[in-house]
Amino acid sequence: MMEIINILMPNFERLSEEFYECLFQTIIMVLVSGTIAWILGVALGVTLVVTRSGGIMRNRLVFNTLDRCIDVIRSIPFIILMVLLIPLSRFIVGTGSGLEGSFVALVFGTVPFFSRQIEQVLSEVDGGLVEAAQSMGLSPWEIIFSVYLKESIPGITRVTMITFVSFIGITAIAGAIGAGGLGDFAIRYGYQMGYRDMIWLTVIVILLMISIFQFVGNYIIKKTSH
């Protein structure tokens, strides 16, 4: 088996240790930044839906503020946003570079896009269900969890899968501030040094990660769809 790997990927044995380190860095970015971005994205998406005109907790000030902020952040290219957020990263995590320094930028680069998708999914919830819940005396928080979120599990899972693919892409850009990861590995060895086998190895591993995530997501959608 190792002989076949050495033939197909002659540079792997020499770079395997660094490859595994970059794979670990990507996994950490996904687990830490991805989890935080998912929670914030869902929270902001819910807030946008319930505070808009006609929402169960309508608040024009909150809605307009969030709506404008999300649009502004979404319009900034990630590489520029990453540089702008270096002072904030230093304040929050103590550094503006490296793996830890990438967390803040990855969250800010993902949340606006994801929250808009969550807003769209929650907007498709049958208004009759919301009205029925209100007539039964459910509080706004009970409606959020028992109607909006519960009924939107398949949709939330679907947009999470879409965002995950985009998130993996921006982790490669995060390598520009020394965050490492598979994207940085592919750029340094695959592009700059011309090791084509390392590019293919990186692509295969990323496709495998995405495939596993999509398999789990499709399973959840299948089990929760009415």
The verdict on residue 4 lying in a domain is no
Q: Is residue 3 part of a domain?
A: no
Residue 201 lies in a domain: yes
148 Cβ contact list (under 8 Å, min separation 6): 46, 49, 50, 122, 125, 130
Residue 153 backbone phi and psi in degrees, to 5:
-55, -45
SS3 content of the chain, % helix, strand, coil (to 5): 85, 0, 15
Report if residue 64 sits inside a domain. Answer: yes
Q: What is the CATH number of the domain that holds 180?
A: 1.10.3720.10
pTM for the whole structure: 0.88
Task: Confirm whether 133 is domain-assigned.
Answer: yes
Helix axes 196-224, 153-173, angle to 10 degrees: 170
Domain of residue 141: give its range. 15-224
Residue 150 falls inside a structural domain:
yes
Note whether residue 53 is domain-resident: yes
Per-residue pLDDT 10s for the chain (226 aa) are 556 666 666 677 777 888 898 899 889 988 999 999 999 999 999 999 999 988 888 999 999 999 999 999 988 888 888 888 888 888 888 877 777 888 888 999 999 999 999 999 999 888 888 888 888 888 889 999 998 998 899 999 999 999 998 888 888 777 756 777 888 888 888 777 777 888 888 888 989 989 999 999 999 988 887 6
Q: Where are the alpha helices (DSSP H) in 94-195?
A: 98-123, 127-135, 140-143, 150-151, 153-173, 182-185
Q: Report the domain count for the chain.
A: 1
Contacts of 19 (CB under 8 A, 6+ apart): 12, 185, 198, 201
CA 162 from centroid of its chain's CA atoms: 9
